[in-house]
Amino acid sequence: ITPVMLPEEDLAREFSTKLFELDVFATPIVFPMVPKGKARIRVIPSASHSKADLDLGLLAFQKIGKSLKVI
């Protein structure tokens, strides 16, 4: 499990929703599962993912991260 840390719960939810729209499944983890201000997105890469799958995910994270101004 690879956490992608984000500062706000709403941002984590929005990021996750936008990823899903690009065929990337990554769940938001928010309060009360983690302390307030410690939101994250949970990514679970595995050996069953192809290089193309991983490239798709990385491109989606980059696109959304830039659009939401977190990278």
pLDDT (average), residues 57-67: 97
Output the pLDDT for position 55.
96
Task: Of 64, 12, 14, give the one whose Cα is nearest residue 40.
Answer: 12
Q: How many CA atoms lie within 13 A of 41 on its CB side?
A: 23
Give the C-alpha distances (Å, rounded to integers) separating 4 from 7, 67: 10, 16
Output the pLDDT for position 53.
95
Output the pLDDT for position 47.
94
User: What pLDDT, in 10s, does the model give residues 29-54?
Assistant: 999 999 999 999 999 999 999 999 99
